[in-house]
Copies of this chain bind each other. A is one copy, B any other.
Amino acid sequence: MTNKKILNGEKVIVKIGSRNIGGTNPPIFIAGPCSVESKEQIHEAAFALKEIGVDVLRGGVFKPRTSPYAFQGLGIQGLEYLKEAGEATGLPIVTELMDEGHMEIVGEYADIIQIGSRNMFNYSLLKAIGGLKQPILLKRGMCATIEEWMMAAEYIALHGNKNIILCERGIRSYDTYTRNTLDLAAVPIMQKETGLPIIVDPSHGTGIKELIEPMSKAALACGADGLMIEVHPDPSCALSDGHQSLNFEEYRKIREQL
């Protein structure tokens, strides 16, 4: 039933700063805290991660949280902190866009714009961001089929932007041991079907710190074009997702093995 006119399997190479992602290019490493929590926190993370060797700094400022009473992110203030941290270290930054109302400012600040799992089916937003020129990091919806995910990317491409990096972050299954079921078969499938680069997020994909290393190795072994991992200066104090975040030393050890 698929009808992909644009993302039809021909290789798409996405440029991030001086790096190329996709095809035979080496994998890209994205890391940072789940949420930007303060100027100090994101600057500390940026410098530590730069030194360890990451390519892109991540940090959420608009946070889609299950409960309306949970921390919702620092918003535009957080975006400024993130931008400054990126500029201070020379790292490109990626952050999530949740609605069109913030598209202009996020489009101005961010080097890569993330569409999170909860918005993969938000077709209005997908159409709108087709008008941006930055690369889009399109996470898989938590119950999106391969077909639906491909077509979500096609929405963006059809509206003008082929610079899409896919991100497998686990799908929902009946099992509760892990937070999600990381579907690594999606890596070679999506590469072949769409031609787009695809990275893997083992932090959300498992929700368990100890699984990040083996799943990162597995992701690269089956051809992933990069990894996005949550790293926080002090995971035990994180305002969101602390249980699945690595500290700098833990991340450094994994990074060295990859």
Contacts and interface: CB of A to CB of B under 8 A. Distances in A.
Interface of A: 3, 5, 62, 64-69, 98-101, 117-119, 121-125, 127, 142-143, 145-148, 151, 154-155, 158-159, 171-178, 181-185, 187-189, 192, 205-206, 210-211, 214-215, 217-223
A143 B66 contact: no
A30 to B, nearest CB: 20
State the number of copies, please.
4
A175 B172 CA distance: 9
A222 to B, nearest CB: 4
A140 to B, nearest CB: 10
A64 B119 CA distance: 12
A145 to B, nearest CB: 5
B145 A143 contact: no
A3 B220 CA distance: 35
B118 A118 contact: no
A121 B64 contact: yes
A187 B99 CA distance: 31
Given A145-B174, A176-B176, A100 B100 contact: yes
A175 B151 contact: no
A38 B121 CA distance: 26
B185 A183 contact: no
Contacts of A183: 173, 175, 181-182
Nearest to A2: B67
A67 B187 CA distance: 21
Contacts of A121: 64, 117-119, 121
Contacts of A220: 221
A160 to B, nearest CB: 12
A180 to B, nearest CB: 9
A232 B171 CA distance: 32
Contacts of A122: 98-99, 118-119, 122, 125
Contact of A181 (B173, B211, B217): B173
A182 B222 CA distance: 13
Contacts of A117: 121
A149 B142 CA distance: 15
Given A68-B154, A100-B101, A151-B67, A143 B146 contact: no
B68 A151 contact: yes
Contact of A221 (B65, B119, B218): B218
B124 A146 contact: no
Closest 9 A/B residue pairs (Cβ): A143-B143, A221-B221, A118-B121, A99-B124, A218-B222, A214-B222, A146-B177, A218-B218, A217-B221
